[in-house]
Amino acid sequence: MNKFYLYKLISDCDNEAAHIYEHLFLRAAQQALVEAGFAPGLYGWQNGATYRDIILLECGFYDPKATKIFAEFLQQPVEFDPANIAQAVAVISAEYRGQLTYDPAVLAAELARIAARPFFDLEKTPILTRFSREKARAGSKIVQVKSQKDHYHKIALNFAYRQNNLEEIALLFRLWPILYDQLATLINQLGGYIVNVHAPSFNPQSDWLTMGVEVGFKKGLVSKPILLQKIKRLQRDFDFAQHRQALQTYAREFRDNIDFAHIPEEIFERTGALVSRQKIAALLTPENAERVWQQLRCDISTT
């Protein structure tokens, strides 16, 4: 597994524009990987955070090919089209529960200025510097944010699996990160922002393993039946057999990388099932994954 810890210096940039840039960058990087045949959740992960002085990125890739694609992507100048900018703005609006207004040409110019800055490798940073850890974004001259909390609501996407055996519980624990990334991709495409994550846990009273996310959406942006339909389509259409090799790499990394050594303990605490990484990795075949994935039930509620 290859990890990247990167940062970009932005003290003299517009902070809201930098936040929009962070969202655009992560989405464009994922898009580059998806175009190369990788499925969200299976190749690794990318996280970002924007502070007043720096943008921090933390990315991990299971597959050397995915690492190479990301490393190449980092070297290329990224251009963002108006549709992508509008989508990133919609997601951030849901994140803030507020309306963002800006002059598109001014924003585009600032995004280009931020994009032109290099990312530095945190591992190779020779100096010790104190930066602000504030995420406060007051004082943007480019993006005006008007709080509109009443215009946003939360939708809970609840997944449940009727457990038949312990193997399925163990399997679902490693399928959840894949499902989560695919959901996050879908939700961002629809202009929603994930507010809370509920990792799999087993309720002995009901015999169900449950998991899910809570999403902030602008009211009226997407109806619950349409959202449910899109999630069902995502479940139905995802073909594990098509990603056999990526799933193997995912399973092998999970089994061999020390970073995942704590997961069996987490599974035990959340479900009572005692299982080794070795066993879970052996269970992660396309056939098993497909069977369990298709039987996951989803329902939606407004919270």
| Binding residues with Zn ion: total (CB under 5 A) | 1
Nearest residue (beta carbon) to Zn ion: 95
Query: Which is it for the CA torsion 71, 197, 207, 292, positive or negative?
Result: negative
Give the shortest CB-118-to-Zn ion separation in angstroms. Answer: 22
Q: Give the separation between CA 137 and CA 296, rounded to whole angstroms.
A: 40
- Binding piece for Zn ion, criterion CB under 5 A, among 66-74, 90-98, 173-181, 207-215: 90-98
Q: Is 79 helix (H, G, I), strand (E, B) or coil?
A: coil
- What is the nearest approach in angstroms of Zn ion to the Cβ of residue 283? 35
**Closer residue to Zn ion in complex, CB, 44/216:** 216
Task: Tell me the DSSP string of 89-152.
Answer: HHHHHHHHTEEEEE-HHHHHHHHHHHHHSPPEEGGG--S----------TT-SSEEEEE-GGGE
**CB closer to Zn ion out of 95 and 290:** 95
Q: Are 82 and 20 in contact (CB under 8 A)?
A: no
Cβ proximity to Zn ion: between 22 and 253 the closer is: 22
Is the separation of the CB atoms in 87 and 189 below 8 Å?
Answer: yes
**How many Cα neighbours within 13 Å face the side chain of 53?**
6
CB 179 within 8 A of CB 296: yes
3-state secondary structure of 119: coil
> 95 vs 214, which CB is nearer to Zn ion?
95
Give min distance, CB of 95 to Zn ion, in A: 5
**Most distant CA pair in the chain: distance in Å?**
57
What tokens appear for 49 in the block? 């955070």
C-beta of 88 vs 280, nearer to Zn ion: 88
Q: Provide the mask over 155-194, with x wherever binding to Zn ion is found by CB under 5 A and - wherever it is not.
A: ----------------------------------------
Q: Given the complex with Zn ion, which of 92 and 209 has the nearer CB atom?
A: 92
Reading the block at residue 37, the tokens are 């045949």
The rounded distance, in Å, linking the Cα atoms of 103 and 174 is 44
To Zn ion, the closest distance from the beta carbon of 193 in angstroms equals 7
Instruction: Identify which range of 87-95, 165-173, 248-256, 285-293 contacts Zn ion by CB under 5 A.
Output: 87-95
Q: At its nearest, how many Å lie between Zn ion and the CB of residue 156?
A: 20
Nearest approach, Cβ of residue 3 and Zn ion (Å): 21
Q: Which is nearer to Zn ion, 58 or 95 (CB)?
A: 95
Please tell me the distance from the alpha carbon of residue 164 to that of residue 167, in angstroms, as a whole number: 9
Q: Which residues pair with 194 in a beta bridge?
A: 215
Is there a contact between 32 and 160 (Cβ–Cβ < 8 Å)? no
Tokens at residue 68, please?
């190479």
Nearer to Zn ion, 95 or 167 (CB): 95
Q: How far is CA 114 from the centre of its chain?
A: 22
Minimal distance, residue 265 CB to Zn ion, in Å: 31
Instruction: Mark the segment that binds Zn ion (CB under 5 A) among 94-102, 135-143, 147-155, 238-246.
Output: 94-102
Q: State the nearest-atom distance from the C-beta of 211 to Zn ion, in Å.
A: 23
Q: Which stretch binds Zn ion (CB under 5 A): 72-80, 88-96, 166-174, 195-203?
A: 88-96
Stretch of 35-43, 93-101, 123-131, 222-230 contacting Zn ion, by CB under 5 A: 93-101
Among 7, 28, 26, which residue's Cα sits nearest to residue 79? 28
Q: Which residues bind to Zn ion, rule: CB under 5 A?
A: 95
